[in-house]
Structure 1
Amino acid sequence: MDPAVNSTDPHPSAPRPPSRAARLRARLHPATTPLFLGAVAVAGAVMVHFVDPHEPGHYPTCPWLLMTDTYCAGCGTMRAINALTDLDLAGALRMNVLTVALLPFMLYSYVRWVYFSFRPPTRHIRAAHPFWLWLLLGVILAFWLVRNLPFGAILAPG
């Protein structure tokens, strides 16, 4: 006989009580997570605005750049955000054109997330089609590669 099965137990399939974390999540409003992450993003943008990433020593060096001496797809993002907080679109594009190009999509997705956390949809909302996710991954990897090639030097941060 299996020792894990106790035939004298009156409720062999009784559910376990929820954990403390599960009880806390159940009490939180569905908009807590998106609003918290939005506040963190705004705080990060404010910090990058006031603590200039163009000055050496304020932020750590990109680990990829440090190890390989090539630019990753995200290199220049902090300086691009700094330029955007100064309303310098041309400067942001010089730092990381991919970040600037993806910001409207990220903003749209964030606003939609907040909206649906306050007004849950009545019908099932599908996630992005896998084609678009693979395309995004391909664009990021292509950008990463091209910005490190001699003819793509215009995409390098600077």
Structure 2
Amino acid sequence: MDKRSCNRVVRFGFVAAVLAALCALYIFNPSTTAVFPPCPFHLATGCHCPGCGSLRAIHNLLHGQMAAAMSQNPLMVLSIPILGLMFMNPRWIYKPWVPWTAMVTLIIYGLLRNVSVWPLTLLAPQ
């Protein structure tokens, strides 16, 4: 199998896995079912990680509830178009500033969403 065919197989597999996960998230509400595991970071520390609320946010987006999704994880909702663009044009991923920007953004977001002062409390899952 040549490199181009291998890349297509990998992309197809990735897309199939994402679609299967989205179907599961559409059917099962992470807030009311035990199908999805709770956040291990939140269980261990009591703090919200940058990903806390992401499953609930995606579930709400799939059901057309944008405000509810934003109340669960605003960074996840706002990053979906950027991640889509990066998937469509993978050359972005190899820019040296991309991983650094993502890492700094996630660290700052993770810290700010655990501050108990309004308006930063809006960043924590509701």
Same-fold call, TM cutoff 0.5: yes
Distance verdict in 2 for CA 1:128–1:54, change over 3 Å: same
C-alpha offsets along residues 54-85 of structure 1, whole Å, 9 cap, x if unaligned? 10423211100000000000000000110110
- Consecutive unaligned residues in structure 1, runs of 5 or more: 1-24, 114-124
Match of 1:60 among 18, 37, 40: 37
Alignment of 1:41-80 (within 5 A): 41-80=18-57
Out of 76, 89, 92, which is 2:69 matched to?
A: 92
Among candidates 80, 95, 117, match of residue 103 of structure 1: 80
Q: Deviations over 1:94-139 (max 9, x none)?
A: 11011111100111122235xxxxxxxxxxx575432232122111
TM-score (norm 2): 0.87
Provide TM-score, normalisation by structure 1.
Answer: 0.71
Inter-partner Cα distance in structure 2 for 1:126 and 1:74: 22
Question: Which of 102, 122, 125 is 1:154 aligned to?
Answer: 122
Computed over aligned residues only, the root mean square deviation of the Cα atoms, in angstroms, reads 1.9
The one of 22, 40, 58 equivalent to 2:17 is 40
Question: Percent same amino acid at aligned positions?
Answer: 24
Larger Rg: 1
Which residue type is aligned with residue 155 of structure 1? L
* 2:100 matches 1:134: yes
Does the aligned pair in 2 maintain the 1:76–1:157 contact within 8 Å?
yes
**Contact 1:34 1:110 (8 Å CA) reproduced:** no
Higher-helix-fraction structure: 2
